Amino acid sequence: MKILVSGGLGFIGSALIRSLLNNEDYQILNIDKCSYASMPEALEGRESLKNYSFKKIDIKNASEVESAIAEFKPNKIFHLAAESHVDRSISAPKEFLDTNILGTFNILESIRGNFSNLPENFILIHVSTDEVYGSLKFDESLFNELSSYAPNSPYSASKASSDLLVRAWNKTYGIKAAITNCSNNYGPWQNPEKLIPKTIFNAINKKPIPIYGKGVNIRDWLHVTDHVEALIKISDTHENYSKYNIGGNQEMANIDLVKEICSHLDKKIPIDTSYFDLITYVDDRLGHDLRYAIDASKLAEDHNFKPKYMIKDGIKETVDWYISNLKWMQSKII
Ligand code: NAD
């Protein structure tokens, strides 16, 4: 089984590769452009494995993507390479369009160009986000796989566009594909620009912990290892085209999540005052979606998937991991 992972030096991609490498029968090729968000250290010790290889490739470069796919002839591609931070997409959207839309187009065209040389049953797993569905009111029912797309940020618009390209390449050219829309992930090796590691880093360094608006915005949270397990299960589907929401069914307001982290830190590394005192409300993010929440029952039914982590335990474990990796976090602060 040959598996190509794009964006395998990122937060979720590296977790996926760590999990796939548990199976010695898998040959893994990781392609990643090594952007600021990449973390080769998350795969430390794996570089020398016989069944792992890495190529520095920017998916915007069509010919490099094409050669990698033509030479490796994967059975599966997990496509995760993307610009992923909403705030960056608001201040500088172009790279999001270039990587997330054109990069996905390059991957699809490279598959199409090599289709007859790829193994039978080749599948593309396109890893996307629940943010493509837009925002829910507090009392609205959950997004399911048939909910319409209504992205509100340049990031989510670029991901929504890439989902639609994957769908079209399946319907038009018959490329077998699964599109997955997952809720917010947390766990080790997440770039400290994101809410959870940023909160931990600022708290430990006794800096203000910024929280947008009133902190009421709700997200559904899933541990990254649960996400990875779901992706691997979905990749074994026999369906020619499928779409799955992946979520933890664990909604939490941002302020409650931050307080949960502060409360754990208060016990773990007590200070004279409390980490709660560092919470600082800042101007809301432009176009800030109020609530994301998804119905992941299709995944549960089709693939017998149930997240292993409950958010409260997962958060404690995650905080402990970042405490043990403070130097690494410091090295990622730009
Ligand atoms: P990340 O930012 O941590 O990692 C992205 C990786 O892609 C990095 O290693 C980066 O170097 C690489 N990359 C960026 N541009 C590239 C390019 N042009 N060519 C090749 N490689 C490039 O992101 P993540 O959090 O691991 O997210 C991975 C995927 O999962 C993304 O597609 C994202 O939209 C999706 N997703 C993320 C979450 C989440 O909560 N983090 C939730 C749902 C879906």
What are 286-330's pLDDT values in tens digits?
989 999 999 999 999 999 999 999 999 999 999 999 999 999 999
Q: Are 46 and 52 in contact (CB under 8 A)?
A: yes
C-alpha distances in angstroms, 16 versus 98, 186, 224? 24, 14, 9
> Catalytic residue among 32, 130, 226, 251, which?
130
Alpha helices in 75-194 (DSSP H): 86-91, 94-96, 104-113, 154-173
| Residue 313 among the catalytic residues | no
Probe target for ligand 1 pocket from 11, 128, 179, 252, with the most ligand atoms within 8 Å of CB? 11
For residues 206, 208, 214, 219, the Cα torsion angle rounded to the nearest 10 degrees is: -60
The pLDDT score that the predictor gives to residue 105 is 98
Where do the DSSP E strands lie in 82-217? 123-129, 177-182, 184-186, 209-212
Annotation says 322 is catalytic: no
CB 6 within 8 A of CB 110: no
Tell whether the model's pLDDT for residue 99 goes beyond 90: yes
Query: How many Å lie between the centroid of ligand 1 and the Cα of residue 183?
Result: 14
pLDDT digits (tens, 9 = 90+) for 260-286: 999 999 999 999 999 999 999 999 999
Helices (H) and strands (E) in the chain, counts: 12, 12
| Band of residue 333 on the pLDDT scale cut at 50, 70, 90 | confident
Q: Is the pTM of this model over 0.85?
A: yes
Beta bridge partners of 294: 143
Mutate to test the pocket of ligand 1, among 84, 130, 153 (most ligand atoms within 8 A of CB): 84
Q: Quick check: 229 pLDDT over 80? A: yes
Q: Decide if pLDDT at 334 tops 90.
A: no
Decide: residue 138, CB within 10 A, 0-12 exposed, 13-18 middle, 19+ buried. exposed
